[in-house]
Amino acid sequence: MDDNNELVVLRKQGFYCSQILMLQGMEMMGKSNPDLIRAMHGLAGGLGFSGELCGALTGGASLLGLYAGKGTPEQPEDPRLDFMVMDLVKWFKAEYSEQFGGIRCEEILAGNNQNQAIRCPILVNGVLQKVKELLVENGYDLSGLENE
């Protein structure tokens, strides 16, 4: 199943942008972690449905962290993570801010809940592709096997 179809299926199952991004990342790694997906729900709707920062953007940053973040006391921090997140934010602003009125969920939806069905899939798919691009550019194996 391609990323677009997968996105539609996951949304119909009740998952939100941030969760969908993490689910797709976990799938690329061949892993499953319901606790992590549950935690990502807090980013939905612009941080707990407060309309703040877009869940696709925060979910994308979290997905970068899944690959490049520090996970154990023994594991060294990867300085590339901050740069990848900064690149993601710059790209997101340049790509979507003017088109959708900002990078906050409230601005993107513009008070029209029907925009969620139209705009959110565009954002999630775009962020997923950009995250993949950033990871590959920085030497990460999308399967996660060679990153540990």
What is the pLDDT, as a whole number, of residue 56?
98
Residue 58 in tokens? 């925060």
What does the pLDDT look like over 4-18, one tens digit per residue? 778 889 989 999 999
Separation of alpha carbons 42 and 40, rounded Å: 5
Q: How far is CA 130 from CA 27, 60, 85, 90, 111, in A?
A: 17, 9, 11, 11, 27
Weakly modelled stretches of the chain, pLDDT under 70? 1-3, 147-148
pLDDT for the residue 10 = 92
User: Would you state the structure tokens that stand for residue 67, as one six-digit string?
Assistant: 């690959």
Extract the tokens encoding 111. Answer: 């008070």
Per the DSSP assignment, residues forming a β-bridge with 28 are none
Domain boundaries, the chain: 3-137
Separation CA 135–CA 145 (nearest Å):
13
